[in-house]
């Protein structure tokens, strides 16, 4: 618990909303399937196997308000690394089938509002363990992010809940409201259904990720 497992580093492919790649049939399907939307509305496609991480409603890693992902509990050797797709600003609904714990059955746009308090609780607890475990990816954080993280951790020792909420990850130019959702669904001819990627990312190099 507390290990950083993903960082948006300099090698990540960032595709702007007006990029012609989004209309190019050679690239658009890959971006739709594997990229996530950042707070500026850009699509981010991981250059490594991070893009293959599967969803679980009881995920063992989550995105934080600082942009990196962190283990929110200990992850055993051989256990699949999972994330919660509700954090990734999907435009369409996605059907789910989780093997572990209660499953929401569908990822919806409103999941962000419905789960942000729970995600904050989990990520705050994990971040408070950050200095207690090895951090192989810490050096890849942007200087500004690292400075803010260290400042907030120091302040959190004196004032609880000084850490950055995952709400900062939401696409700023597109606030989510119930009216917005209703209008979006009226424009859709059908709900998009996506299958989970048949790839499992597992922990094999170390006995436990803290």
Examine residue 209 and state whether it is found in any structural domain, yes or no. Answer: no
Model-wide pTM > 0.75:
yes
Determine if residue 203 is left, alpha or beta; phi over 0 gives left, psi from -120 to 50 gives alpha, anything else beta: beta
Examine residue 176 and state whether it is found in any structural domain, yes or no. Answer: yes
**Gap between the Cα atoms of 162 and 182, Å rounded:** 35
Examine residue 206 and state whether it is found in any structural domain, yes or no. Answer: no
Degrees (nearest 5) of the Cα angle 153, 126, 96? 135
pLDDT in tens, 173-202: 554 444 333 434 433 333 333 334 445 565
Examine residue 175 and state whether it is found in any structural domain, yes or no. Answer: yes
pLDDT in tens, 98-140: 877 788 888 888 888 899 999 999 999 999 999 999 999 999 9
What is the pLDDT confidence band of residue 79, given thresholds at 50, 70 and 90? Answer: very high
So what's the pLDDT on residue 94? Answer: 84
Going edge to edge, which strands form the sheet with 13-15? 13-15, 43-45, 36-37
So what's the pLDDT on residue 208? Answer: 55
pLDDT at residue 206 is higher than 80: no
Give the total number of structural domains in the chain.
Answer: 1
The parent domain of residue 192 ranges over 4-201
Examine residue 179 and state whether it is found in any structural domain, yes or no. Answer: yes
**Gap between the Cα atoms of 84 and 114, Å rounded:** 13
So what's the pLDDT on residue 156? Answer: 85
Examine residue 207 and state whether it is found in any structural domain, yes or no. Answer: no
Examine residue 41 and state whether it is found in any structural domain, yes or no. Answer: yes
Examine residue 95 and state whether it is found in any structural domain, yes or no. Answer: yes
Q: Which residues pair with 15 in a beta bridge?
A: 43
């Amino acid at each position: 618990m507390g290990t950083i497992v993903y960082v948006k580093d300099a090698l990540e492919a960032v595709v702007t909303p007006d990029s012609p790649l989004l209309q190019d049939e050679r690239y658009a399907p890959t971006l739709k399937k594997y990229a996530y939307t950042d707070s500026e509305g850009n699509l981010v496609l991981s250059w490594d196997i991070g893009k293959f991480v599967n969803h679980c409603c009881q995920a063992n890693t989550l995105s934080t308000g600082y942009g990196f992902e962190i283990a929110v509990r200990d992850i055993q050797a051989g256990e699949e690394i999972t994330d919660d797709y509700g954090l990734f600003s999907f435009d369409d609904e996605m059907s789910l089938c989780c093997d572990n714990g209660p499953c929401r059955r569908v990822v919806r746009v409103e999941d962000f509002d419905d789960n942000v308090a729970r995600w904050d609780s989990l990520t705050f607890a994990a971040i408070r363990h950050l200095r207690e475990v090895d951090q192989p990816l810490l050096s890849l954080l942007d200087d500004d992010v690292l400075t803010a993280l260290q400042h907030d951790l120091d302040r959190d020792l004196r004032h609880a809940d000084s850490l950055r909420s995952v709400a900062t990850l939401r696409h700023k130019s597109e606030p989510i409201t119930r009216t917005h959702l209703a209008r979006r669904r009226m424009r859709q001819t059908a709900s998009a259904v996506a299958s989970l990627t048949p790839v499992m990312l597992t922990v094999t190099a170390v006995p436990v990720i803290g």
